[in-house]
A and B are shown apart, each in its own frame.
Chain A
Amino acid sequence: MKFLSIILIVSLSWLTFNLEAQSTPEALEIIEKVDANMVSKTSIVESKMVIQGRRKSRTVVSKGYSEGDKKSFTEYLAPAREKGTKMLKLDDKLWIYSPSTDRTIQLSGHMLRQSVMGSDLSYEDMMEDRELTDIYDAKVIGEDTLDGQKTWVLELNAKVDDVSYAKRKMWVDQERFVPLKEDLFAKSGELLKRVRLTDFSKTDGRWYPGKMNFKDMLKSGKGTDFIVVKIEFDPEIPPYIFSKASLKK
């Protein structure tokens, strides 16, 4: 009898474990599904960046072209002060063209750690082009409800030394497979930045956020809103766009 009970308990535990394993997808699987939604071969995005300062806010309008995660080109369209400024990123190099000086400079070292146009984003944040799975060990640590949506909570711990954030926590919508929130942590565990993604809409069969809010959690203020005005997935982008010559055009 005792033997039968043990077999029953072991069998039940095994069954429960397997059921759980089936219902909780692997972190890698979730990230791949997220990438399928968010990442395209090429894209053209028209966006507004609302930088909310202590007293007033500033809106920077830009049009960005990207191919994969290694090439991107951004042209700033407004305000007048920033109009004509262009930014080209090829692999790990970043050039900025300023029309007022008619000069192109390459940013390196400390300059990459500066804020982009006074926002809560640094050039380095925009430069990170390595796959999350290459630099982080990801695991699903639980479930949560966010904005009325059921989410998987993923924890990503750095597996290489040269990453900006030692740990990330990501809330991924269980239905649409889009991230709704991401927290970026320091090595000590201190929460440094929070990214909130909202206003999702379906374009070309993909769910994409209409608004992203980047917030430096150590500073007061409302952070920086990145609003997607128009997005095109997988358009044809002529190769000359991703060349240094296009900066001065």
Chain B
Amino acid sequence: MKLAFQLAYKNLVGAGLRTWLNVGVLAFSFIIIIFYNGLIDGWNEQAKYDSIAWEYGNGQLLHTEYDPFDPFTILDGHGVLENEQSKNLTPILLRQASIYPEGRMLSVALKGIDANQTTLELPTASLKNSTAKIPAMMGRNMADAANLKKGDEILLRWRDQGGTFDAAKITVAEIFETNVPTVDGGQIWIPISKMWEMTGLENHATYYVANENFQPKNISDWKYKSQEVLLSDLNEIIAMKKISGSIMYLLLLAIALLAIFDTQVLSVFRRQKEIGTYISLGMTRSQVVGLFTVEGSMYSIFAMILGSIVGIPLFAYLAKIGIGMPQASRDMGIPLAERIFPVFGIQLIVGTILLVVIAATIVSFLPARKISKMNPVLALKGKLQ
């Protein structure tokens, strides 16, 4: 085997440019596969972290009549949880309302949240510390859409529990920056105590966000959604992105493997005398097949080395500074940070190495099989077979 590696190495280095072209294309595929997967993994980690920190907490307890995907359920989808049961839970009450920036009407989801909560990263302390009559906070996207800034007053119109209109000015106490659009766009947050007072829905909540000490239990009229269930949509989007991305890099890999395959076919055809010599010197056919296969798979080893020389500094740099995401992508409604920091895990790197090496070995072995059917005498004479 050692001989096979030595011979393969010498043959490849001796082949010069042909080898380096193959190695170059394979190394490029190698880098692209790791980069793309690293980027998706980085996004996955960031999106999950942000979603948990800003929206999901350790799970949510939703009123059975409330469906987050159906705005018509907001009206009746709320209820009261007994004090003992609401331990380790942050109540959020949701109502529909309108604001009137610059004389136009903007429908908003008005969310009341416990100003003392620490489960979510929402800066509710600013609501607590504000001296305004009705302090409110909103995300940057919402503030931009309504052209509002910190300290601005805006008229809010809502309905109380009987359906009677009410209107009052709210003061923007805080504008927060978040990567989670589902707590930002079209939403205004106010203290839940104020919301109870405004709507007459004392102690009501549409859903509760659990902290890490919450133990899920069956409570009538409420359904518990664990963190995993809440994150499942995000996981599906990311899995879909991975699959759609894999088409692109598998195509690239296929081109590189095709080049190796062609080189192998050419080698077997042009080096018939060499094959005959090996066999006459006592090598078995399978040893010669092995030699040619090792030679082919060695392209992948070279590609790995070249890929590491180029990739390691590049990936280290990208993992440090991140990759900027365009604004248009961030408006899609899924958690996406301004900069994504790719994650190049050991599993990804080892997986990619195995994929490239195994694929290169297979495509090297396929043309080399022909050797086992060769007549060594004809091969020595260099006659076409």
Contacts and interface: CB of A to CB of B under 8 A. Distances in A.
Interface of A: 54, 109-111, 158, 160-166, 186-188, 190, 192, 216, 218-221
B163 A188 contact: no
A109 B167 contact: no
Contacts of A190: 155, 157, 166-168
A190 B198 CA distance: 14
B164 A163 contact: yes
Contacts of A216: 105
B100 A162 contact: no
21 contacts: A110-B71, A110-B96, A158-B164, A160-B162, A162-B163, A165-B165, A186-B157, A186-B165, A188-B166, A190-B155, A190-B166, A190-B167, A192-B157, A192-B167, A218-B105, A218-B167, A219-B103, A220-B102, A220-B103, A220-B104, A221-B103
Contact of A110 (B74, B160, B162): B74
Contacts of B167: 186, 188, 190, 192, 218
B164 A164 contact: yes
Interface in B277-325: none
Given A187-B166, A218-B155, A218-B167, 12 more contacts: A110-B75, A161-B162, A163-B163, A164-B165, A166-B165, A166-B166, A186-B165, A186-B166, A186-B167, A187-B160, A188-B168, A219-B104
Nearest to B103: A220
Nearest to A186: B167
Given A164-B163, A188-B166, A190-B155, A218 B75 contact: no
A188 to B, nearest CB: 5
B72 interface: yes
Contacts of A163: 162-164
Q: Which of B74, B155, B162 has the most A CB atoms < 10 Å from its CB? A: B162
A165 B166 CA distance: 8
A111 B72 contact: yes
Contacts of A111: 72
A166 B96 CA distance: 19
A165 B100 CA distance: 18
A169 to B, nearest CB: 15
Contacts of A164: 159, 163-165
B165 A109 contact: no
A109 to B, nearest CB: 5
B165 A219 contact: no
Interface residues of B, number: 24
The interface residues of chain B, by DSSP majority, are classed as mixed
Contact of A192 (B74, B161, B162, B165): B165
Nearest to A189: B167
B75 A109 contact: yes
Given A186-B157, A218-B100, A221-B103, A165 B168 contact: no
A116 to B, nearest CB: 15
A23 B116 CA distance: 59
Interface of B: 71-72, 74-76, 96, 98, 100, 102-105, 155, 157, 159-168
A122 B26 CA distance: 65
A222 to B, nearest CB: 12
Nearest to A108: B72
B63 to A, nearest CB: 16
Nearest to B105: A219
A111 B74 CA distance: 12
Contacts of B103: 219-221
A186 B75 CA distance: 19
Q: Which of A109, A111, A221 has the most B CB atoms < 10 Å from its CB? A: A109
Contacts of B160: 187
Nearest to B161: A161
A166 B71 CA distance: 25
A128 to B, nearest CB: 11
B164 A165 contact: yes
A162 B160 CA distance: 9
Given A109-B75, A110-B72, A218 B164 contact: no
9 closest Cβ contacts across the A-B interface? A220-B103, A161-B162, A190-B167, A186-B167, A187-B166, A218-B100, A162-B162, A186-B165, A186-B166
Contacts of B75: 109-110
Q: Which of B103, B163, B167 has the most A CB atoms < 10 Å from its CB? A: B167
Contact of A187 (B71, B74, B102, B165): B165
Nearest to B160: A187
Nearest to A184: B165
Contacts of B104: 54, 219-220
A31 B118 CA distance: 55
A187 B74 CA distance: 22
A164 B162 CA distance: 8
Nearest to B166: A187
B358 to A, nearest CB: 56
A80 to B, nearest CB: 27
B154 to A, nearest CB: 11
A157 to B, nearest CB: 12
A109 B72 contact: yes
A156 to B, nearest CB: 13
Nearest to A161: B162
Contacts of A162: 162-164
Contacts of A221: 103
A220 B168 CA distance: 17
A124 to B, nearest CB: 8
